C-alpha cells in the first residue's frame, strides 16, 4: 500500500490559519502529516494566532527539526505523496527555485521535485516583485510543481474569513487526492 504521508513545510510568511486548516483536513481525510517548521514560522505563529507553538505542532502527526539533514524527507526513498509548503515565503520559494538545500524544508522540496511528486507552494507576498514572479514562473514550468497563491475566492459566497481560509486549505490539498468535506468547486 502506498504511503498516505504528506510533508508539510511551514515558512515565515503570513498564512498560519491556512496551515492550521491544512493540518486538520489532512488528519480528517486519514492521511499523515510530517511537518517541518522554519525558525521564521515560529514568529509568525505567535503574531497570527493565540495558539502556542506546541499546540500547532500537536496538530501534525510528526514534527521534524529543520536542521535534521538526516531525517526521512531528505531522501527520495522516504515514501510520501508529496509536499505542501504553507505558507511559502518568497525566501523559501527562492531557495526551492535555486535548489538550495540549506535546511530540511528546502531539501525535502528539492527531493519532492526530483522524485516527481506533487509540490504545492502556498505562496504569500504582496506586492510581487519581478524576481518573485520569475521564480514562480520558472517553478511553474516543472510539471509536478503547483504554484497556489493564498488568495481569496468569492464564488463560494463566503460568510466569514474562516470560510475563505478553509477553502484555500482544501484547494492546496486537492493535488494529493484529498477532497475536503465542505470544499466547494466551481460549478457552471
Please report, for the domain that includes residue 79, its CATH number: 3.40.50.1950
In a domain, 151, yes or no: yes
Predicted TM-score (pTM) of the model is 0.96
Residues 139 and 97 sit within 8 Å (Cβ to Cβ): yes
Find where cell 516543472 sits: 142
Domain tally for the chain? Answer: 1
Q: Tens-digit pLDDT profile for the chain (188 aa)?
A: 457 999 999 999 999 999 999 999 999 999 999 999 999 999 999 999 999 999 999 999 999 999 999 999 999 999 999 999 999 999 999 999 999 999 999 999 999 999 999 999 999 999 999 999 999 999 999 999 999 999 988 999 999 999 999 999 999 999 999 999 888 888 87
CB-based contact 34:60 (threshold 8 Å): yes
116 backbone φψ class: left, alpha, beta (φ>0; ψ -120 to 50)? left
Integer Cα distance of 115 and 112 in angstroms: 5
What 8-state DSSP symbol labels residue 129?
P
Provide the domain limits for residue 19.
5-176
In a domain, 187, yes or no: no
Confidence at residue 2, expressed as pLDDT on a 0 to 100 scale = 59
Has residue 188 been placed in a domain? no
Residue 181 lies in a domain: no
Amino acid at each position: 500500500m502506498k504511503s498516505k504521508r504528506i510533508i508539510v513545510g511551514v515558512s515565515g510568511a503570513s498564512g498560519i490559519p491556512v496551515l492550521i486548516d491544512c493540518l486538520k483536513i489532512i488528519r480528517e481525510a486519514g492521511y499523515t502529516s510530517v511537518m517541518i517548521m522554519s525558525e521564521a514560522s515560529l514568529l509568525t505563529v505567535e503574531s497570527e494566532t493565540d495558539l502556542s507553538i506546541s499546540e500547532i505542532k500537536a496538530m501534525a502527526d510528526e514534527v521534524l527539526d529543520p536542521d535534521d539533514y538526516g531525517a526521512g524527507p531528505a531522501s527520495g526513498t522516504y515514501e510520501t505523496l508529496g509536499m505542501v509548503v504553507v505558507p511559502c515565503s518568497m525566501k523559501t520559494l527562492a531557495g526551492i527555485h535555486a535548489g538550495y538545500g540549506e535546511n530540511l524544508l528546502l531539501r525535502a522540496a528539492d527531493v519532492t521535485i526530483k522524485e516527481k511528486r506533487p509540490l504545492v507552494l502556498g505562496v504569500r507576498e504582496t506586492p510581487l516583485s519581478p524576481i518573485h514572479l520569475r521564480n514562480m514562473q520558472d517553478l511553474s514550468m516543472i510539471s509536478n510543481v503547483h504554484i497556489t497563491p493564498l488568495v481569496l475566492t468569492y464564488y463560494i459566497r463566503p460568510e466569514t474569513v474562516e470560510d475563505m481560509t478553509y477553502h484555500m486549505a482544501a484547494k492546496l490539498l486537492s493535488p494529493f487526492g484529498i477532497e475536503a468535506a465542505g470544499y466547494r468547486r466551481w460549478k457552471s
